[in-house]
Amino acid sequence: MKSEKKYEPKKTIYYENELTDDFAKMGIEIKPLRENYRYIHRGPLWRFFSFVLYRIIGQPLAWLYTKIVPLHRFKNRKALLKVGISGAYIYANHTNFILDAFLPNLLRSFRRGYIVVGPDTMSVPGLNNIVEMLGAIPLGSTLKQKKEMVNCVKTRIRQRNLITIYPEAHMWPYYTGIRPFSDASFSYPAHTLTPVFAMTTCYQKRKLGRFPKTVTFIDGPFYPDESLPMAERKKALRDQCYNAMKARAEENSTYEYIAYRKKEDGENKN
């Protein structure tokens, strides 16, 4: 059973809707993808700089940051070995802007990690190419882009990479629970019959320092049930991931650094 929280939160945030409220506070103007956006680059120059940025710069910096700032560690990462070198989908809770960007790149050393991102990530001026080289796969703005995005995801899976999806969609910093999410994003593994893992980041009090230490648990693999109709197949995968994430959070998120409370009707709190 989860330990009782013994510490007062540093801040309390009042929310109205678990599905739509977003507390990322990026402060940028969200723009749609440019019309000629290319999801897969095959040019040697792009591939070279992407390799350098990802392997030589990005991964070492990500590892260093996670060890120093949030005192991060993985638990049960060996579960990924159960699918060998196969591609897989990772579904994770969305509670830390920087950590959520770094962790997918640290899951495997021999394959790249990709992240499905929203338009806000691609709206930061001057950083489009950098975040793409680091593994961002943006959601399409048009029907044509959405088709190309799906093809990109399938290609990366065929290349035996890991693709991380944050099904909660909106970021709640240091939230210790698991918010409800739909099964829409589970159509990818349901159609391609690809294994799925749940990745849950939990927060715990540390002896020294301002911020919580973080522990990330890996659960799975969960496999699509081919005997089920597509709608039920997606829901089954979603439920397996959600239940695994919820159990991990309830057991291991023992420090509420930021408290989240439901705003009552007519209540006006910041």
pLDDT-based confidence at residue 30 (cuts at 50, 70, 90): confident
Please say whether the dihedral angle defined by the alpha carbons of residues 177, 163, 127 and 151, taken in this order, is positive or negative. Answer: negative
Query: What are the pLDDT digits (tens) for 10-21?
Result: 899 999 999 999
Fold observed for domain 13-23+38-262: Glycerol-3-phosphate (1)-acyltransferase (3.40.1130)
Q: What is the average per-residue pLDDT within 224-232?
A: 97
| pTM (2 d.p.) | 0.92
Q: Is the pLDDT of residue 114 over 50?
A: yes
Q: What is the average per-residue pLDDT within 140-165?
A: 95
- Mean pLDDT (the chain, rounded): 91
- Percentage above 90 pLDDT, the chain: 78
